[in-house]
Chains A and B, each alone.
Chain A
Amino acid sequence: MILAILGLYLCALLAIGFASRRMASSTGEDFFLAGRGIGSFVLLMTLFGTHMTAFSLLGASGEAYRVGIGVFGLMASASALVAPAVFYFLGVRLWALGKRHGYITQVQFFRDRYGSKSFGLALFVVLVILLIPYLLIGVKGGGITLEQITEGAVPEWAGSLIIVAVVMSYVSFGGLRGTSWANTFQTLVFITLGALAAVVILRSMGGVETALDRVAAQSPELLVRGEAIPPLKMLTYLLIPLSVGMFPHIFQHWLSAQSARTFRLPMVAYPLCIAAVWVPSVLLGVAGTADVPGLEGSAANGVLVRMIGLHAPELLAGLLTAGVFAAIMSSLDSQVLSMSSLFTHDVLRGTFGMDLSPAKQVLSGRLFVVLILAVTYGLSLASDPSLFRLGVWSFTGFASLVPLALAAVYWRRSTLAGAWAALLTVIALWLYFFTQAGDIPGYSVGGTGVMPVAVIFAAAVVALVVVSLMTRPPSEDRLGRFFPESAGLGSSEAHRISRQEGS
């Protein structure tokens, strides 16, 4: 039953990928950005699906099982505030600049803003290194989950291979349009199925209040934040969701938006979508302590699967498997496509100066999708489960780079030297903390609760500001391309003049 439902689900995804190909034209902009024609609802679903991984179903319930209801405030409502704010203050501006100058990748923007190919190349290397563990977690996590749900009938290597093959098919066929359509379908699937699982299980337990009363009798500490989450951790964890501001895959989805108005629905509905996914996961995780006590370490992440086994029919287990796969693949597809885009535009064209025709850009994009997924699959087989600890470090790195993006779009005085200083500071401090504490779960600086991201972020800001102020400001010509409205003109007038100059 489980495999039949999963098979149907994967066939539906492949059909969406093939259908999207029929609408494609053979230009790089169409393949990588869906012709900058994505509408509001698809943008919301694809941004949300890309941002939320299987962690929001399995990891969140596992964390709630271990730590309690405080996980919602720590991770979910923090993202509900930060992610739309990043869309508002960064996303729309970067979209406008991307549309104006024809950017397809994040690196193209930074290379142009600071006028340095070598800075662009360094940023490309950092982004790819931070993205690799994220890719591996998706592929390996999917294989492990399928193995658990089918009780070993489908081995991990086969589950991972299925994920890789399906994502490879619809991303290479449909490009960003296929990815966005598939993400829309997948996001609807995992939001619906997460809520359905919660309703069925909690009703079987006698309702939410009865389930929570049982938890209160056995483990009352799970219904408060208490000592499990120190206040300084709660405060500094707010910086982690800033990572959406530097994820290459989120950047690529921003650039695909049809207009500035397209961002309205994603900003408004994002907090509601987060609540819709995380509240059921957290409640089920906490309620699981009453039904399946004693799960230790990573075994706690299996609490949702066990609860379904206890309280729900096999049909729901099959649907949940599809939901978990949906959450995994809706992130993996965008990440792979953004990496393919980075290699095509920033390495082949930007670094090696290859003059690729639109058709060759698409071909290169497809080949890189295949290559990246093949390498990721190979690495996932060779890696051990400890790689899941890398997730928070990956987010820490991306979040710490956000001052670069903020300065690039808001601070005229920021310079190339300042950007280099910030980037090198992030690299040095990230490596320091990672080598010191990479294998310590729940590490905080000096045991204070302060997350390393707070230290790295603050140091990056200081480096950026101090070195920028010590070096010569960028030329007015360059600034005029990025800040036309502050050149003493109204924005419309400035755009009109620069358009005339361009022609």
Chain B
Amino acid sequence: MKSVLLVCLALLFVVHNDLWWWTDSSRWFGLPVGLAFHLLICFAAALVFWGLTRYLPYDPQDVAEVGDLHPDASAARSEGGR
């Protein structure tokens, strides 16, 4: 599934260069197509990253263990800012 999501992300980068609408002045949802399409790219990016965050580069549990190596990090951690 992660591979599928990474391919989707790569596709978004490809279609970001939407040569086929370069001079098209038609409207989508009341907006010029060159703007509406890139708005859709923003929504699609949010969706893809929603999926990808399930596969973060580090498993959160591993990172919690990694954090313990630095003694000051946990000692100085504060509740503020949460």
Chain A residues in contact with chain B, CB under 8 A? 20, 23-25, 27, 29-30, 34-39, 42, 69-70, 72-73, 76-78, 80-81, 84-85, 88-89, 92-93, 95-96, 99-102, 177, 180-181, 208-209, 212, 216, 220, 223-226, 231, 234-235, 238, 256, 258-261, 263-264, 267-272, 274-275, 279, 282-283, 491-492, 495-496, 498-499, 502
**Which of B24, B38, B72 is A77 in contact with, Cβ under 8 Å?**
B38
**Which of B19, B37, B63, B70 is A260 in contact with, Cβ under 8 Å?**
B63
Q: Is B76 on the interface with A (CB-CB < 8 A)?
A: yes
Query: Is the Cβ of B65 less than 8 Å from the Cβ of A267?
Result: no
Query: Is the Cβ of A208 less than 8 Å from the Cβ of B30?
Result: yes
Q: Is B25 on the interface with A (CB-CB < 8 A)?
A: yes
Instruction: Looking at the assembled complex, report how far the CB atom of B66 sits from the nearest CB atom of chain A, in whole angstroms.
Output: 4
**Which of B13, B24, B45, B73 is A29 in contact with, Cβ under 8 Å?**
B73
**Which of B13, B18, B65, B81 is A181 in contact with, Cβ under 8 Å?**
B81
Q: Jot down 5 A-B pairs with beta carbons below 8 A, ordered by A.
A: A35-B80, A96-B63, A260-B56, A261-B60, A267-B52
Identify which of residues 10-60 in chain B touch chain A, using a CB-to-CB cut-off of 8 Å.
12-13, 16-19, 21-25, 27, 30-32, 34-35, 37-39, 41-43, 45-46, 49-50, 52-53, 56-60
Query: Is the Cβ of A495 less than 8 Å from the Cβ of B80?
Result: no
The chain B residue with its CB closest to the CB of A230 is B22
**Which of A78, A181, A267 is B53 in contact with, Cβ under 8 Å?**
A267
Query: Is the Cβ of A275 less than 8 Å from the Cβ of B70?
Result: no
**Which of A29, A76, A268, A269 is B38 in contact with, Cβ under 8 Å?**
A76
C-alpha gap A99/B64 in the complex (Å): 9
Instruction: Chain B residues near A234: list those with CB within 8 A.
Output: 16-17
Query: Is the Cβ of B46 less than 8 Å from the Cβ of A223?
Result: no
Query: Is the Cβ of A260 less than 8 Å from the Cβ of B60?
Result: yes
Query: Is the Cβ of B78 less than 8 Å from the Cβ of A272?
Result: no
Instruction: Looking at the assembled complex, report how far the CB atom of A22 sits from the nearest CB atom of chain B, in whole angstroms.
Output: 9
Query: Is the Cβ of A212 less than 8 Å from the Cβ of B49?
Result: no
Query: Is the Cβ of B56 less than 8 Å from the Cβ of A272?
Result: no
Query: Is the Cβ of A258 less than 8 Å from the Cβ of B82?
Result: yes
Closest 6 CB pairs of A and B: A35-B78, A39-B82, A23-B80, A77-B38, A102-B70, A271-B45
Instruction: Chain B residues near A260: list those with CB within 8 A.
Output: 56, 58-60, 63
Interface centre among A69, A80, A95, A102 (most CB of B within 10 A): A80
**Which of A80, A92, A216, A224 is B58 in contact with, Cβ under 8 Å?**
A92
Query: Is the Cβ of B38 less than 8 Å from the Cβ of A72?
Result: yes
Instruction: Chain B residues near A42: list those with CB within 8 A.
Output: 81-82
Instruction: Chain B residues near A25: list those with CB within 8 A.
Output: 76, 78
Query: Is the Cβ of A20 less than 8 Å from the Cβ of B63?
Result: no
C-alpha gap A220/B67 in the complex (Å): 56
Query: Is the Cβ of B58 less than 8 Å from the Cβ of A36?
Result: no
Instruction: Looking at the assembled complex, report how far the CB atom of A36 sits from the nearest CB atom of chain B, in whole angstroms.
Output: 6
Instruction: Chain B residues near A231: list those with CB within 8 A.
Output: 17, 19, 22
Query: Is the Cβ of A80 less than 8 Å from the Cβ of B17?
Result: no
Query: Is the Cβ of A223 less than 8 Å from the Cβ of B56?
Result: no
Query: Is the Cβ of A225 less than 8 Å from the Cβ of B23?
Result: yes
Query: Is the Cβ of A81 less than 8 Å from the Cβ of B41?
Result: yes
**Which of B18, B49, B65 is A73 in contact with, Cβ under 8 Å?**
B18
Interface centre among B21, B50, B58, B66 (most CB of A within 10 A): B66
Seed contacts A101-B70, A212-B27, A271-B41; 11 additional CB < 8 Å A-B pairs: A23-B79, A35-B76, A42-B82, A81-B41, A96-B66, A224-B25, A224-B34, A260-B56, A272-B46, A495-B66, A495-B69
Instruction: Chain B residues near A498: list those with CB within 8 A.
Output: 69
Query: Is the Cβ of A37 less than 8 Å from the Cβ of B66?
Result: no
Contacts known (A224-B24, A260-B56); A30 close to B76, Cβ less than 8 A = yes
Query: Is the Cβ of B42 less than 8 Å from the Cβ of A80?
Result: yes
The chain A residue with its CB closest to the CB of B66 is A100
Contacts known (A224-B34, A256-B81); A275 close to B62, Cβ less than 8 A = no
Query: Is the Cβ of A93 less than 8 Å from the Cβ of B52?
Result: no
